[in-house]
Amino acid sequence: MKGPFTDSRQDGQRGGTGTARFVAVKAAEAAASIVLVIVLGFFLFRLLPGDPIAFMARDRPTDPGQIAELRDRLGLDKPILAQFGNYFLGLFQGDFGESYLERRPVLDMIGERLWPTVLLVGSATVLAVAIGLWLGIRAAWRRDSLFDRAQTGIALTLWSVPQFWLGLLLLVATGGLFPSRGMHSPDAAPGFLPQTLDVLHHLILPCLTLLAVFYAQYMLVMRSSLLGEMNADYLVTARAKGLREDLVRRRHAVPNALLPTVTLVFMQFGMVVSGAVTVEAVFSWPGLGQLTYDALHGPDLPVLQGVFVVLAGAVVLMNLLAELLYRVLDPRVRTG
């Protein structure tokens, strides 16, 4: 005998279990992806040409004894499967190996570079999301207007401009108003406030460069997403209720159009650490991008592997969060 109350309680229970299972399945998928990334990362980088020891000994007097010692110390004598086994087990103990070039733990090197990159790319992304969404909404609402065409044109142009070129252009154009390198000035006064201001001063140009390139995709996605909602019936209803155009846009159209953008934003956040290789090189910003750039020249395999695992891990994690968040934000996904 089933009553309406029983049904709803069962639905509720089923819903709860469903969410838990959904989270568990997604987390397991993410974990599997990360393991795959580790395996791929190890063997993929082994395909790169170049002998790390020859790289380390380049342009330096090195006798065969030293070279043999190095090879032994870095474990390059062992069969590749044994090397992989050591690497894989090491990862679980937080040991990402030792850099060929600097001969320091890779995890330390990544740790040092993570914060500058998160600061640079993170702040550029936050600003790019804000500005991109705002401009995208305006452009869509006034589609085919001069504003829309101009904004779309500017966004497409900036999106296709090479980042390093834009960075160099900004460096020259600002004529020394902002520092051209690094994150700290050796002349900055000690103390929290002067040091913070010094970092902000250094942050402006690289952040502006990234912002100019980043905001375009948010703007264009938001614009097209909102255009898709423009002729929906609920907007006609809202207008029929006598709401001002401004409020129709803000309270009805935008929240619905925002959903696909949320996924994009989260997926892009996963890329936060990887998106700045060239900009970091132009502005000598001491982040992960620069570390990757240097490591590629070797190739410094342990560093490349480490960065690869961290970056891919971040993307996997952010995708997982995006999927979970989407489920929370959009009831249709839950019920479907």
For the segment 62-121, give every residue that binds another protein (CB under 8 A). Answer: 62-69, 71, 101-104, 108, 112-113
Position among 209, 274, 290, 305 found at the interface with another protein (CB under 8 A): 290
Provide the CB-side half-sphere exposure for 184 (13 A, CA): 14
The reply on whether position 262 binds another protein by CB under 8 A is no
Position among 134, 147, 159, 326 found at the interface with another protein (CB under 8 A): 134
Q: Which is nearer to another protein, 148 or 280 (CB)?
A: 280
**Single-letter residue type at 75:** G
Binding span for another protein by CB under 8 A among 2-10, 17-25, 37-45, 130-138: 130-138
Position among 4, 79, 94, 175 found at the interface with another protein (CB under 8 A): 175
SS3 184: coil
Query: Rounded to whole angstroms, how far apart are CA atoms 3 and 56?
Result: 76
The reply on whether position 233 binds another protein by CB under 8 A is no
Provide the β-strand partners of residue 105.
Answer: 98
Position among 213, 254, 312, 320 found at the interface with another protein (CB under 8 A): 254
Q: Which of 209, 210, 201, 207 is nearest to 170 (CA)?
A: 209
Nearest distance, CB of residue 203 and another protein, angstroms: 7
The reply on whether position 177 binds another protein by CB under 8 A is yes
Query: Rounded to whole angstroms, how far apart are CA atoms 162 and 299?
Result: 24
- The count of residues interacting with another protein (CB under 8 A) is 83
Position among 19, 33, 86, 180 found at the interface with another protein (CB under 8 A): 180
Residue 259 phi/psi, 5-degree rounding, is -55, -55
Position of tokens 């970056």?
311
Q: Which is nearer to another protein, 305 or 316 (CB)?
A: 305
- Terminal Cα-to-Cα distance of the chain (whole angstroms): 27
